[in-house]
Structure 1
Amino acid sequence: MNAEDTRKALTRLYEDGWTQQQVENAAGVNTRTQRLIVNHRQDTVRHTTHAKVLSLIGKHPQGGGKTIAWPSTRRIQSLQAAGHSGRALAAMLEMSPEFISRLSLGRQDTITTVAADRIRELWDNLATKPVAGPPTATAKRLGWATPLDWDNIDNPDEHRPPLGKYIDLDAGHRRAAALILRHFSPEELPDHAPTRRHLTQIADGRADRTTVKFSQFLYLWGERANTRKRHLKERHDAA
């Protein structure tokens, strides 16, 4: 059978805090097979393999309660600022790259305590080591801070960089602003969004700078606008 549903099920298990080794121990699907499936290097699976994976859905490994996600989000962001790619972090954590991406972009409100503990353990191990390389493109664009830039990464009142700090706008910001204006009405945007006027100034190239807070908004909502644009095109093409 096609592996896509199994891939989705494995991704869900990892998001719920399962490690690849725990899945192997509980369901008998070896870690190599799991990696091939989740990394899109195996397109078909046996029905029995799919059934074994599905049997774990809704169950949690020991200690699988939920906790707030933002401390883990900060840790993933800071490690990307220190040169660790999202895919590399996913491999080290035995989590899916898609989950790490959503977590780093603040799209997860809660995660399992198992996942949070694994992220904290990895961060504690890497935080004081030399940076692995230049920041990832996303970390550079959004100005994420490295582990050593934080005084207390678990302090909700500390922000690195400060949300009010100004940064220079680039072509990516302008494209995002234009997409947001085109695909979202004012009523659909959150209260912390830039004003319509400021978005227009950014899109038209009449603004040279904006705050870190607004830069982060442009990146996240620009992606959402691009997704909406793609879905509209798909529906149009199918009509």
Structure 2
Amino acid sequence: MGTMDDLAPQAAAVPSAAAEWTESEREKARGVRRMKAIAAGFLLFAVVVFVVTRWLESRGAGAWAGYVQAAAEAGMVGAMADWFAVTALFRRPLGLPIPHTAIIPTRKDALGDSLGEFVGDNFLSDAVVRGRLAQMGVARRFGVWLSDERHAERVTAELSALARAALTILRDEDVQTVFAQAITRRVSARQVAQPVGALLGRVVADGGHHGLVYLVVDNAHK
């Protein structure tokens, strides 16, 4: 095992976390230490006032000592309650396993889920979004904006430029393929064979096909 002299250079070589802080982080840390010192100073002042007024009251001081003592006592209780409440959010006060403490480290996942559900239910749900959009009147506002001739001309020019660019880039073969596939899917999705067959059957039953046959024959002889 190495001696303390052997471990000293290694400890010096490892930079501390504070040494890696930025100037802004150092300033925040100094601010936190300053506020802690001020809070501790007020607590110590309240303790001193409480002790002094308690001693004065035992020596027969007037009623004012009791009022000052009560104020100092309330200050001490409030300070301890605030310290416990804030500390309990992030860690165990004094390292004691007190229930319902270290809330954020131990329940951060549940808190995140609850916050997500709250935001989703109250701000991002379908009904809420639809209601907000209805209140905003997006279509009406866009219609009013578009009713201005300058805005309409601007939109037309932008759309025309976009259409020209799209037509320049697209090839005829690609467009034909897309339209052919779209029409094929639409026709396949709709059962047109049976209605067309029924229609032709009705035409044949009524003798309506004779006129078509005569027309074809007449055109063939011409």
Please report the TM-score for the alignment, with normalisation by the length of structure 1: 0.18
Whose Rg is larger? 2
Query: Would you tell me which structure has more helix in proportion to its own residues?
Result: 2
Query: Would you tell me which structure has more strand in proportion to its own residues?
Result: 1
Which structure has more RCO (C-alpha within 8 Å, separation ≥ 6)?
A: 1
